[in-house]
Chains A and B, each alone.
Chain A
């Protein structure tokens, strides 16, 4: 419920903080060389392999201490490798080629993630299960099959039946899943956690299967299972009495469902985003029911009024989280009075509501333990209101002020002074915010990890200089900040070395120099958006290719980059998974050749409007074994035959393709049927 872990509250120099941080995080930063160094040192001193003398118990203990960087440790010596193999509990498979080998090696795994592994289908599963000694399924407790659209109900059932201890399954976004798959899932009698988001075909029948089969269910997400109605929810509430978490977002359920849900005595979290048929009558059922309710989300429920929400609040004084985004037009006086009683409230999100200074004052004076406040797109948020709310809620960690356009530097300064623990601040479209406010932020909020300054035209190089004092920054969004240049970026690059995500969308003054600084400073970057930064060239791209951790790179519509730059990226960024090259018209076949050969981890590519030929497209599509999603619109040099060939070559593993709608009837129906049968979705543009 509470996403941010409690952290020590020290408003002190960074050195002190780094000392007080948890051990594992510290060790995470030590690289493999360090381990090897220690290893060699000990070996030299004792002139024999000391780790051979250590018992396995001790080695396991050592491994437990280095939770996060097990990969480096594994590579040090055979002993470490062996111990790591036996103690590993979770595994995420990227390629099916290694699946069997890995499963045999790591025989004690409890969690298997196949969500990004291509070619998981019924046949693969049957081969996996029939292969020799099937030991690996013995201990499996969690299966992540999200987006495993190739897997049918037969394979699913085989897999689930093979795992006797299975407790959690994630089949979210398997859009083709229906009642049969649900029926297969219901074989897992010990199941406690199930995520079925966007299993579009599941109806009440499927839900009934699960409700009857998995009566120990504690957590269930049915988001976007659009076929499910009141009947199914009613049965669920009768059969699964252990439910603690229930998500019925976007279902066409009515207040009747809430009557049933109210009978769930153990329910703690109830999410019903976008249930537009539920009204206050339903919420009144909750007033008396669900005694342990801690979190409720009624966002986008258009029929819910403040009085309905009040009835929920009055029935549950221990409420910790309340989400009411875009469902109320304004908060009524009784509701505000009701809020006064919620002393345990941690998170409140009332995006899109008309608020007043008075309301914010009430929140500030009563909800002292507030950790997160969402006021995105709220009308009537003023400097005064913000000052009143933050002065009361000193523990705030997340503050969302997206599109609160009337707030100025005064408010930012107050926030900075009142909330030293602030970790996330969203100020998108707050035009009046300038370097004056951000100065204070850089001075006080040293714990800041996420800052969204998208479309804040007041942000300039000086502002970035101030922000760069927040050295803990992990995510920084500077999209559409047209006033920032290489100088500002260099400040960020020098100081914010922990940055992993940076958004420079349409920062048109950013050029190669800034990127060079970035590549040397922020070498942990995994996501970088440079779309429409039209000043950058291959030189900048070559710099970027030094970012070894880079996985997501958006280079949309950069006119000056060519195959040379792309080749550098393809060769050096080994982890590159998502690449957007739409409208990069200067990249030619040789660039895509390079991608086809080197970017073996590519998962998703957008090459619409690119100059790629039939031959290279086929090569790319067939050679990239992990590719799951390709957007292939307006490829002027590609013929229909070439496209068909390319599609055939990847039809076993790809899950999503975007094609030009004009080709709808030119492409042979056989391919389309095969795609359909393999669970691949074709989007026509």
Chain B
């Protein structure tokens, strides 16, 4: 088992750790975007998977492992029966859980009150998503078996042939390279992705999809003309994860101090002795070797299954180290930088956060589902696409008297209630997950209700009181039948004249 396998299971563990009813799976999946990409999060399943020595890199040794050969990776394909057993028992558990959910739905149908339609469809979609993931897991479990079988039995068994065919259809399968499980992880991601896109989207998913699009887009920008290079014409370098994430790339061999730039390191070296002060030592080292023909350097992402990983079938190299860094952080890392204005958007690259903060708050077009748009036409396209979504109307500054404290933030930051609500929903505490989810859903179904419930208590009646008794008001308050006595206006005649128009 390699890390990707464990990550795959990681997704599993997360999805199944929740109580099945409601939108548990969905919530959870969409809650933690990083789990999609399977970036190393400690999971209960980790011990099942046998971490392979090559992948579990010790920081110090990382430089040696820049290139991973095919031979090394092929070692991974040893079959581990205990892991297999674990996987199977886990699958069993999962199927039981799913059974429970279906039972619940069946029971609900006999209940007197009808469920909202959206809820039912959502549940159906959930079940399909679960089933899909079970199938995928099953295949991946079988797949872990496959390469070893293939080595020994060499494709004679028809069953295995079918299996491999199945895999061939579903997965972008790099034949014989790296681990067999990597592509499955990829596949699973895709499947989840699809199921989510088909879902009644809620804020989280939308966010998720947006983010992903964003990253892909950025990656492509990184690429530019690099794609045109023929496969053999460049040297592929693959930095290790730790190296990529390290703040400094240039370290002093004497004192160990790290620097961002080589030039700074060379300046630093001068302090370690006169031999570093020569013009030759201070000059750029590349210039000396510039005369000999050099291969163009391109970089590979160390994350298995990634399109930027050199083992990927449609491998697209990254152009510079900076590209590698940004790509790795954006795609395979936690988004640890949260926007201080909206408290919603998260980024893994600080530059992205800064770019976002420049525009944050300008996304004034808000849907009832909480998604914001910078352009009105985008919002309207969104509303036209999704049933039941309406544009949200921001609360007025002076009308939010009765707002609960948690929502004050949202107001101050000129975001709207919907998005704040999303924050609630995305609170990853698993027990509240379901309730929160329902909350979000309620909001989607009936955003107006949401707004009005805020407004009814404080402001309006306050306003009414304020106006109904202006200082100079004459005696007729809204419903008084008393006419001021001094005028000879008889209510009776008034009644008549009133009925005239009936």
> Is B499 a contact of A71 with CB atoms below 8 Å?
yes
B474: chain A residues within 8 A (beta carbon): 622, 649
A206 CB to nearest B CB, Å: 8
| Nearest CB on A from B165, distance (A) | 43
How long is the Cα–Cα vector from A91 to B476 in the complex, in angstroms?
Answer: 23
Instruction: Give the number of A-B contacts (CB < 8 Å).
Output: 137
Q: Residue A40 at the B interface, CB < 8 A?
A: no
With A97-B480, A234-B380 known as contacts, the answer to whether A209 contacts B390 (CB < 8 A) is yes
Partner-contacting stretch, out of B169-177, B219-227, B419-427, B490-498: B490-498
Given contacts A96-B478, A234-B380, contact A122 B470 (CB under 8 A): no
Known: A97-B494, A208-B390, A600-B494. A231 touches B377 (CB 8 A): yes
* Apart from A123-B468, A209-B391: 12 A-B pairs, beta carbons within 8 A: A71-B499, A94-B497, A98-B495, A123-B465, A183-B448, A184-B448, A205-B393, A208-B390, A212-B390, A232-B380, A235-B380, A600-B493
Which residue of chain A has the shortest Cβ distance to B392 in the bound complex? A205
Min C-beta distance of A27 to chain B, whole Å: 17
A71-B497 Cα distance, complex, nearest whole Å:
11
Q: Is the pair A575, B494 in contact by a Cβ cutoff of 8 Å?
A: no
Q: Mark A92-108, 1 if CB is under 8 A from B, else 0.
A: 11111111101000000
Chain B residues in 8 Å Cβ range of A596: 487
30 A–B contacts, CB within 8 A, in A order: A71-B499, A74-B499, A96-B478, A97-B476, A98-B494, A98-B495, A98-B498, A122-B460, A122-B463, A123-B465, A126-B464, A183-B390, A183-B448, A187-B448, A204-B380, A208-B380, A208-B383, A208-B390, A208-B391, A209-B390, A209-B393, A231-B377, A238-B384, A575-B500, A596-B487, A601-B497, A648-B473, A649-B473, A652-B467, A652-B468
* B69 touches A (CB below 8 Å): no
B479 and A127 form a contact (CB under 8 A): yes
Tell yes or no: B113 within 8 A of A by CB: no
Closest to B476 in A: A625
CB-contacts of B459-485 with A (<8 A): 460-461, 463-465, 467-468, 470-474, 476, 478-481, 484
Cα-based distance from A93 to B448 in the complex (angstroms) = 29
Question: What are the interface flags for A459-479 relative to B under an 8 Å C-beta threshold, 1 for contact and 0 otherwise?
Answer: 000000000000000000000
Within 8 A of A (CB), among B352-397: 376-377, 380, 383-384, 388-391, 393
Query: Separation in Å of the A607 CB from the closest CB of chain B?
Result: 19
The interface centre, meaning the residue of A121, A208, A234, A575 with most chain B CB atoms within 10 A of its CB, is A208
**Interface size for chain B: under 10, 10 to 19, 20 to 34, or 35 or more residues?**
35 or more
Complex: how many Å from CA A475 to CA B189? 76
* Nearest B residue to A120, CB-CB: B478
| Chain A count of residues within 8 A CB distance of the other chain | 62
Closest residue of chain A to B387 (Cβ to Cβ) is A212
Structural contact, A623 and B489, CB atoms closer than 8 A = yes
Give the chain A neighbours of B501 by CB distance below 8 A: 92, 94
Q: For residue A662, give the distance in angstroms from its CB to the closest CB of chain B.
A: 23
Pairwise interchain contact B460-A95, C-beta atoms closer than 8 A: no
Query: Are A97's CB and B481's CB within 8 A?
Result: yes
B132 interfacial by beta-carbon distance below 8 Å: no
Q: Roughly how many angstroms separate A645 CA and B473 CA in the complex, as a whole number?
A: 10
Judge if B451 is at the interface, Cβ distance under 8 Å.
Answer: yes
| CB atoms of A71 and B478 under 8 A apart | no
A186 contacts the other chain (Cβ, under 8 Å)?
yes
* B-side contacts of A152, CB under 8 Å: 460
Interchain CB contact (< 8 A) of B478 among A94, A98, A123, A649 = A123
Among A121, A235, A239, which residue has its beta carbon within 8 angstroms of that of B464? A121
User: Complex formed: what's the CA distance from A307 to B500 in Å?
Assistant: 52
B497 x A574 contact (CB < 8 A): yes
| Identity of the chain B residue whose Cβ is nearest the Cβ of A113 in the assembled complex | B501
In the complex, A180 has a CB within 8 A of chain B: yes
B184-202 vs A, Cβ < 8 Å mask (1 yes, 0 no): 0000000000000000000
Instruction: Tell me the residues in window 224-267 of chain A with beta carbons closer than 8 Å to chain B beta carbons.
Output: 231-232, 234-235, 238-239
Chain B, residue nearest A154 (CB): B460
A contact residues around B388 at 8 Å (CB): 212
Q: Which residues of B contact A129 (CB under 8 A)?
A: none
**B291 lies within 8 A of chain A by Cβ:** no
Question: Which B residues touch A235, using CB under 8 A?
Answer: 380, 383-384
> In whole Å, how far is A232's beta carbon from the nearest beta carbon of chain B?
8
B127 to chain A, nearest CB (A): 28
A180-201 residues with Cβ-Cβ distance < 8 A to B are: 180, 183-184, 186-187
Instruction: Looking at the assembled complex, report how far the CB atom of A664 sits from the nearest CB atom of chain B, in whole angstroms.
Output: 20
Answer whether A122 and B384 are a contact pair too, CB < 8 Å, given A95-B494, A649-B474: no
Check A179–B460 contact: CB distance below 8 A: no
Known contacts A209-B391, A575-B497, A678-B467, A183 near B502 by CB under 8 Å: no
What is the bound-complex CA distance between A96 and B380, given in angstroms?
Answer: 41
User: Cα distance A575–B496 when bound, in Å?
Assistant: 10
Contact B393 A180 (CB under 8 A): yes
A157 touches B (CB below 8 Å) = yes
